[in-house]
A and B are shown apart, each in its own frame.
Chain A
Amino acid sequence: MAHAQGQQHPIGVYLKIWGLLFILSTASYLVDYFHFQGYLRWSLIILFMFLKAGLIVAVFMHMIWERLALMYAILVPPLLLIVLLGIGAFEGNYTFLTRGTFFGTGSEVPVKHR
């Protein structure tokens, strides 16, 4: 591991990752092109997305060659976003149901009471 003179890695590493990113992007485009739907579509999109993100952070941004202290400092805090994601999904579904009840076609609530 070359650290004193900065991050130096053979050019082949970058070219291979570049190629992989092209393949993964094509794959995620094909998910849309072939009209995959439902859970198959969503799981494939998320799989390709995380693979691409991982390759970019690990190799292009040199994260796998950094010390663990920096890795943890940068990669652990975003896990907090899972909580926000959960709250958003929960609240979004609730709002949707509420709108369905009050503004939907089968509304029981008279207009003047809105």
Chain B
Amino acid sequence: MTQPAMTSSAESLPLAGGLQGVVADLSSDQRAFKNVPWGKAMMWIFLLSDTFIFSCFLISYMWVRISTTEPWPNPSEVFALTLWGHKIPLILIAIMTFVLISSSGTMAMAVKFGYEKNKKMTFVLLLITAALGATFVGMQAFEWTKLIVEEGVRPWSNPMGAPQFGATFFMITGFHGTHVSIGVIFLIIVAIKVLRGDLDHERPGFMTGRKGSYEIVEIMGLYWHFVDLVWVFIFAFFYLW
């Protein structure tokens, strides 16, 4: 059997840009999202659906806050801490914000070092990201404990005013905290894969036959940045409003 001559024209045609590029990409009878591994496109679509979930929570929160006839507790005072003899408003939440933003910064750098195949730096940065994420969850646990034990806030009642405060607070921050916790677990898994060299040697993962590659660090990064993104909105609408 003679082998047919291989005349590869794959990826040699230049891709159109701008709006023409959008039409060309979507009507190409091939995969629509060029230059993007499918895992990354799927993560983006998952994040889009997650955007709708969190938006539903935040819009419901807006709805109950508008419609309640009882006074809404002032978050600035509820989340104040007394440090060195001074009562500083909202300080715990500010620190949590900085911790999460820092973890996003280290995650972005982990992705960069991953694509450079710098195993050690990627591993260290992923581990720092996970540690900052765990710190965030720890501070959230502290915040919840303070609110439940000292202030007596429950999902169905609230001694400071509107019972809807408790309901939306536990729902929204609980769902976000769950996302962070899951993220920390996955960060540790990805970090171990990087350290073992699974990605350098293209070993398939635990539940997939797909070859390992440093793309998974970027996909993990998308999820992690999204968690930070959601916190930006929660911080603005729940804590500052």
Q: Which chain A residues have a beta carbon within 8 Å of chain B's beta carbons?
A: 3, 5-9, 11, 14-15, 17-18, 21-22, 25, 28-29, 31-33, 41-42, 45-46, 48-49, 52-53, 56-57, 59-62, 66-70, 72-74, 77-78, 81, 84-85, 88-89, 91-93, 95-96, 99-100, 103-104
Tell me the residues in window 205-241 of chain B with beta carbons closer than 8 Å to chain A beta carbons: 214-215, 218, 221-222, 225-226, 228-229, 232-233, 235-236, 239-241
A11 engages B105 (CB within 8 Å): no
* B residues less than 8 Å from A6 (CB atoms): 115, 214-215, 218
Contact of A61 among B41, B225, B233 (CB under 8 A): B225
A70–B41 Cα distance when bound, in Å, is 8
Residues of B within 8 A of A100 (CB): 69
Q: Which residues on A sit within 8 Å (CB–CB) of B62?
A: 85, 88-89, 92
Stretch with Cβ within 8 A of A (4 or more), from B1-9, B25-33, B166-174? B25-33
A-B pairs with CB below 8 Å: how many?
164
Q: Return A112 CB to nearest CB of chain B, in Å.
A: 21
Cα distance A47–B168 in the bound complex, in angstroms: 24
Contact of A3 among B35, B55, B66 (CB under 8 A): B35
Expressed in whole angstroms, the minimum distance between the Cβ of A66 and any Cβ of chain B is: 7
List chain B positions with a Cβ less than 8 A from chain A. Answer: 15, 17-19, 21-22, 25-26, 32-36, 41, 44-45, 47-48, 51-52, 55-56, 59-60, 62-69, 76, 89-90, 94, 97-98, 101-102, 104-105, 107-109, 111-112, 115-116, 214-215, 218, 221-222, 225-226, 228-229, 232-233, 235-236, 239-241
The binding surface of chain B is classed by DSSP as helix
Chain A residues near B215 (CB-CB < 8 A): 6
Query: Is the beta-carbon distance between A28 and B241 smaller than 8 angstroms?
Result: no
Interface of A is mostly: helix
Contact of A29 with B34 in the complex, beta carbons under 8 Å? no
Q: Which residues of B contact A41 (CB under 8 A)?
A: 240
Complex alpha-carbon distance, A15 and B112, angstroms:
12
- The answer to whether residues A32 and B89 also contact, given A11-B109, A21-B101, A68-B19 and a CB cut-off of 8 A, is yes
From B59, B116, B214, B232, A53 is in contact (CB under 8 Å) with: B232
Closest B residue to A85 by CB, please name it: B59
Are B33 and A69 within 8 A (Cβ)?
A: yes
